[in-house]
Amino acid sequence: MYRRHFSYASNANARRVIIMTLNIAEIRKQTPACNDLIHFNNAGASLSPLPVHQRLLQHLALEQQTGGYEAASQAAPAVENFYAAFARLLHCQTNEIAYAESATHAWNSLFHAIPLQPGQRILTGQSEYASNYLALLHMARSKNLRIEVIPNDSQGCICLEHLTAAIGDDVGLIALTHVPSQCGVVHPAAEVGRLARAHGILYLLDACQSAGQVDLDVTELGCDMLTGTGRKYLRGPRGTGFLYVRRESLQRLQPDRIDFHSARWTSENHYEFRDDARRFESWECSVAGKIALGAAADYATQLGMPDIERRVRMLAAQLRTTLRGLPGIQVHETGEQLSGIVTFSSGHESAETLQRRLRDSSINTSVTRLNGNLLDLPRRGLGDINRASVHYFNTEEEIHRFCQVLHNT
Ligand SMILES: Cc1ncc(COP(=O)(O)O)c(C=O)c1O
């Protein structure tokens, strides 16, 4: 399961690699909670596979046996692997990767390092994540900046025409959430990247929901900075995250915090920030979390991100189709580019009652609340909504069972 199965077509002109499908039975064995649960809350926090969970526990045990500093030094290659694993996942260099305690922490470290000047504009999308938008508002207030929210088009994606028209010399940043948490669309992040690069504007991409479900390539995405969390589609531990900074963009960013890990104290009154993305790290962190998150990135890469992406899309499409056939259920996604996040409402029950009823049948879902999504949900005429988020280890049988329980009000 852990090794990629592939064979080559014999066509001499094009030696295509034919990828075999994921071994779902084996994957589910490594996800023991699948025996007792239907876990459709992967956009909240997914289930860690055994190899990832074991790496976490192993290091905690080592810390207990030998001491925290001694354990870290013994596990140095596994700690270093974190950077290599994310470089493989995102198709970048190890010196462009840093560890963070959460996606919010990562995003804020980068955002506060951007030299924004009073009067400048920040362009963002209608589905920007709540905490990011709050940080924009807070910064706009203290630095006298202007935020411009680019509306979505008829497909539910950021309107590229509107974005193009909004670009000007006074734009200091484009901040976009790739896959929103409150809607199952995938925004055209690479097209936004092309615009940002053409105009030399810094581009900060929140990949919190896309990392682990979408095959990400930072060169194709064209972003200067990208952030994510461990616990969602990457299936890593809670309290872990990561960031990427393009090598060429590093010198444009001044971290607003410093310690003797992120910088070198060169003489009594002088210091130099590290010359890599780790200038955004703190010395103290969960070493076990970092090792396990590296293992989670490796797990995803070894299964194959293109296969993961295909299967997540296939399952989510099936779930939407089945839900649309149920009386009283309204599915909220439109458009073509969709993720593993499926949002819907029932005409019979409130979002919370429905979530509780599903939970009573051992089905995990979540509720997306209006008060956490004031940019997006009111514009779409929605209040609190239900969210079912599938991952590759879910099955068609689970979708069938989920819809049966949903139907039985
Ligand atoms: C799109 C998006 N960005 C950022 C975050 C924040 O992640 P974290 O809780 O790791 O800070 C979330 C969490 O739900 C999210 O969905």
- Ligand 1 pocket, residue 129 CB under 6 Å: yes
β partners of residue 388: 342
Does residue 118 sit in the same domain as residue 265? yes
Pair type for strands 225-229 and 329-331: unpaired
**Phi and psi of 343, rounded to 5°?**
-115, 145
Does residue 208 sit in the same domain as residue 265? yes
Of the candidates 238, 268, 302, which is a domain's last residue?
302
Of the candidates 302, 328, 343, which is a domain's last residue?
302
User: What's the pLDDT at 20?
Assistant: 52
Does residue 82 sit in the same domain as residue 216? yes
Does residue 85 sit in the same domain as residue 207? yes
**CA 83 – CA 239 distance, rounded (Å):** 17
- Ligand 1 pocket, residue 104 CB under 6 Å: yes
List, run by run, the mean pLDDT of 10-residue segments along the chain (409 residues). 37 40 96 96 98 98 98 98 98 98 98 97 97 98 97 96 98 98 97 98 98 98 98 98 98 96 97 97 98 98 98 98 97 94 97 98 98 95 98 98 92
User: What's the pLDDT at 21?
Assistant: 85
Which residue, judged by its Cα, is nearest atom 3 of ligand 1?
208
Does residue 247 sit in the same domain as residue 330? no
**Phi and psi of 130, rounded to 5°?**
-50, -50
Does residue 335 sit in the same domain as residue 402? yes
Residue 240 lies in a domain: yes
Can you give the CATH number for the domain in which 141 is found? 3.40.640.10
- Going from the Cα of 208 to the center of ligand 1, the distance in angstroms, rounded, reads 6
User: What's the pLDDT at 175?
Assistant: 98
Residue 163 lies in a domain: yes
- Ligand 1 pocket, residue 108 CB under 6 Å: no
Yes or no: say if 322 and 403 are a contact pair by the CB < 8 Å rule. Answer: yes
What residues make up the domain containing 351?
A: 305-407
User: What's the pLDDT at 4?
Assistant: 42
- Ligand 1 pocket, residue 208 CB under 6 Å: yes
- Going from the Cα of 29 to the center of ligand 1, the distance in angstroms, rounded, reads 28
Does residue 151 sit in the same domain as residue 249? yes
Does residue 84 sit in the same domain as residue 137? yes
Residue 261 lies in a domain: yes
Of the candidates 280, 302, 324, which is a domain's last residue?
302
**CA 233 – CA 188 distance, rounded (Å):** 19
Does residue 260 sit in the same domain as residue 329? no
Does residue 126 sit in the same domain as residue 257? yes
Q: For the whole model, what pTM was predicted?
A: 0.95
- Going from the Cα of 104 to the center of ligand 1, the distance in angstroms, rounded, reads 6
Domain count, the chain: 2
